[in-house]
Amino acid sequence: MITKSMIRSFTIENYLLIKNVHIDFSKGLNIITGETGSGKSLILDALLLVLGDKVDTKMINGTTTLTLVLNIHDGMKFLLQQQGIELTNIESGTIILKRIIQKTKSCFLINDANVPLSLVRSIKEHYIHIHHQFDQSVFKDILKNTINRSIDTMPMANAFKAYDQKKSTLKQLVNEKNTLTEKAYLFEQAFKDLSPLNLKENEEDELVENKKKLGDSAMICQQLKNLLQSQSYLKPLYELEKHLQKMSLPQSRTIESIVLDLESMLQELEDFMNQHEQSAVRIQEIDSRLYELQTLKKRYHVHDLHSFWQNALHYEERLKELDDLIERLQKDCDMAYVCYKQYADSVSKERQNIAQLLKEHIVNELNFLKIPDGIIDFRFKVSQDSSDGYDDIDTWVSFNPSILPQPIAKCASGGEWSRFLLSLKTFDTCSNNVMIFDEIDSGTSGIVAKKIGEKIKDISYQTQTICITHSPHVAALSDEHFKVDKKDHMTTVKQLNEVDIIKELTVLLGGDEDQHDSTQLAIHMRQDALQLFTKKMHCLKSSI
């Protein structure tokens, strides 16, 4: 088989009605069936969660652990190495991607090392493609991604980024110039009001700090003054010194030294008080200055008066500087846009060429899927410039030769949507990717469902495919078949053997497991599928 396995296995622990489910996927076509409400959607939801989808914490009770074992190949290695993920411990060519979810937190791990959400989403974007039934809301993105797959859009994206950055800077400078121009009269008035004040940077903070210091000094001086005036400290010491001298005691010299020190200290305190007697006057001056500054800040509606004054001083110089900067940057911006436009034009031409090939491919595929004479028209129109170019692509179709083409969203039935999307997906497949179809065969039956099954089977020869289906025609073609069931309010998954596959096909055909006619039809469908597989593999080997 040409297909290479991408997803080796998937394990779900404690997610809603799933207690513990482990699924080992095959390389080719993996079919998942089950009654409506059995929990097939839970399996897909859990897969989307481990690949980075947003969690609804209301759905989490305890700890949910989701584990995906993926095969590693050169493209994946390069992606991981770009993110700085250590690959030395990878065994058997696989990595283990795990997400652990709790009520208040969630984390992603690759080989037990924490990785960012962006890396997980890159893995999903590059290698795992999930397609829901009637997924019209993202159809344009699917179409453009299909067309872009063989186009190198990175130079265009980088050119747009460079242009967009220059344009953003230019816009900021133009806004600044307009603001300065609008405030010209205000700056001229501010220059007259503020220049005489000799403003200093951070002056208000300094004034407030000085006022606090002066207030503290004034309080201390008053306390010293009160204390020194309350009584004489030196008189008792003088008397004591005289008595000690009369008694010829040696302590008299010590007392004399103390008295001299105190006299010196008192003189210093006296000088200190004299120096700070003007504190109250200085505080009044500071208050007056602060009031003046606050008044001017309110008048001009600014928080930083000094910066505003500096702008007033230099606004004419800044206007001339801005004129020069804007002129140079406008030229750079024009050149950057020309560069981007060249890339965008080239990409647009490539897209239109590929769209022509895609149109022919889809017409042929639809013919195989029992929509003969289908008309497909991809209409390109110029939209807003972006890193993805300027192309907006509308899809007009007619699935009936007697009806003129219309926008696909207005005229396609559910079955036609399914076949169109499937045709689109067969345009370019890669053996390193995984294709997941969620009931893409919905709205079809009979020979159409059979043809859809054959087409999905063809995809699985090149790309590992996982398909959720209710169609026996699709299910009969499985390489591996999984039955989802609900027992005692818990979702379970069973890997079916050949006997179980026949029983499940019988149920899908509308019969009971032991109903003879339905069982015989199921056996016949399964045998046809196996013969188709054998024939296809013989053709593949012959072509090799």
Q: What is the pLDDT of residue 86?
A: 65
Quote the pLDDT of residue 467.
93
Look at residue 189 and tell me whether its pLDDT is greater than 70: yes
Residue 229 above 60 pLDDT?
no
Structural domain span for residue 260: 184-321
More confident residue, 184 or 544: 184
* 256, 205: one domain: yes
Number of other CB atoms surrounding residue 23 within 10 Å: 21
pLDDT in tens, 438-468: 888 877 778 888 888 988 998 888 889 999 9
What gap in Å lies between CA 50 and CA 352, rounded to an integer?
A: 36
Answer whether 484's CB lies under 8 Å from 39's CB: yes
Task: Answer whether 474's CB lies under 8 Å from 456's CB.
Answer: yes
Per the model's pLDDT, the better-predicted residue between 230 and 431 turns out to be 431
Q: Are residues 427 and 474 in the same domain?
A: yes
pLDDT for 347 equals 96
Same domain, 106 and 40: yes
Q: Domain boundary residue among 305, 321, 337?
A: 321
Asked if 113 and 86 touch (Cβ cutoff 8 Å), the reply is yes
pLDDT of residue 1: 46
Do 193 and 99 share a structural domain? no
Asked if the model's pLDDT at residue 475 lies above 60, the reply is: yes
Over the stretch 418-445, which tens digit does the pLDDT of each residue have? 888 888 888 876 666 888 998 888 777 7
Task: Please indicate whether residue 514 or residue 142 has the higher confidence score (pLDDT).
Answer: 142
Identify each DSSP E strand in 45-173 by its residue range: 64-71, 94-101, 106-110, 113-115, 128-132
Q: Could you tell me if residue 328 is inside a domain?
A: no
Is position 505 within any domain?
Answer: no
Question: Do 461 and 536 meet the contact criterion of CB atoms below 8 Å apart?
Answer: yes
Q: How far apart are CA 323 and CA 315, in angstroms?
A: 12
Q: Identify the sign of the CA torsion 427, 7, 49, 99.
A: negative
433 and 307 co-located in one domain: no
Answer with the residue of higher pLDDT: 167 or 528. Answer: 167
Same domain, 24 and 136: yes
For the stretch 39-69, pLDDT in tens is 888 899 999 999 999 888 777 888 999 999 9
Pair (386, 451) in one structural domain: yes
Domain-located, residue 232: yes
Q: Tokens standing for 258?
A: 């103390």
Q: Which residues on adjacent β-strands are paired with residue 128?
A: 434
State the burial class of residue 49 (Cβ atoms within 10 Å of its Cβ: 0-12, 13-18, 19+).
buried
- Say what the pLDDT of residue 49 is: 93
Is there a domain that residue 344 lies in?
Answer: no
d(CA 25, CA 495): 10
Strands 406-407 and 389-398: antiparallel
Decide: helix, strand or coil at residue 97.
strand
CA distance 281 to 287: 10
Q: What is the mean pLDDT of residues 485-491?
A: 88
The rounded distance, in Å, linking the Cα atoms of 36 and 439 is 12
With 0-12 CB in 10 A as exposed, 13-18 as middle and 19+ as buried, what is 219? exposed
Cβ–Cβ under 8 Å, residues 2 and 479: no
| pLDDT at residue 337, rounded to an integer | 97
Average pLDDT, whole number, for the chain?
84
The pLDDT value recorded for residue 212 is: 80
- Using the 3D structure, point to which of 288, 304, 321 is the last residue of a domain: 321
Which span out of 149-163, 231-245, 529-543 was modeled with the highest average pLDDT?
A: 149-163
Q: pLDDT (tens digit, 9 = 90+) per residue, 163-180?
A: 999 999 999 999 999 988
Section 478-492 average pLDDT: 91
One domain, residues 191 and 145: no
pLDDT tens, residue by residue, 329-338: 999 999 999 9
Model confidence over 354-385: pLDDT tens digits?
999 999 999 999 998 888 888 999 999 999 99
What is the rounded CA–CA span in Å between residue 232 and residue 221? 18
Assess if residue 482 is contained within a domain.
yes
On whether residue 157 sits in a domain, the answer given is no
In this prediction, residue 161 carries a pLDDT of 96
Give the DSSP letter string of 297-358. Answer: HHHHT-S-HHHHHHHHHHHHHHHHHHHHHHHHHHHHHHHHHHHHHHHHHHHHHHHHHHHHHH
* Cβ 146 vs Cβ 453: under 8 Å: no
Inter-CA distances, 315 with 47, 176, 217, 325, Å: 60, 11, 43, 15
Please indicate, yes or no, whether residues 294 and 373 belong to a single structural domain of this protein. no
Contact indicator for 153, 390 with CB cutoff of 8 Å: no
342 lies in a domain? no
What type of residue sits at position 217? S
Q: What is the mean pLDDT of residues 148-177?
A: 93
Q: What CATH number does residue 132 fall under?
A: 3.40.50.300
Q: Answer yes or no: do 375 and 479 share one domain.
A: yes
Q: Are 108 and 114 in contact (CB under 8 A)?
A: yes
Q: Report residue 23 as tokens.
A: 């699924």
Structure tokens that stand for 182 in this block: 């609008």
In contact, 61 and 18? CB cutoff 8 Å: no
> Domain for residue 165, yes or no?
no
**Residue 253 in this model has a pLDDT that exceeds 70:** yes
- Per-residue pLDDT at 131: 77
Band the pLDDT of 322: cuts 50, 70, 90.
very high
Kindly state the DSSP code that residue 92 receives in the 8-state scheme.
T
Residue 196 shares a structural domain with residue 83: no
For the segment 289-316, what is each residue's pLDDT rounded down to a tens digit? 889 889 988 988 888 888 888 888 888 8
Look at the chain and report how many structural domains it folds into. Answer: 2
pTM flag (> 0.75) = no
Q: Are 19 and 134 in a shared domain? A: yes
Predicted pLDDT of residue 393: 93
pLDDT single digits (tens) 385-427? 999 999 999 999 998 888 899 998 888 887 888 888 888 888 8
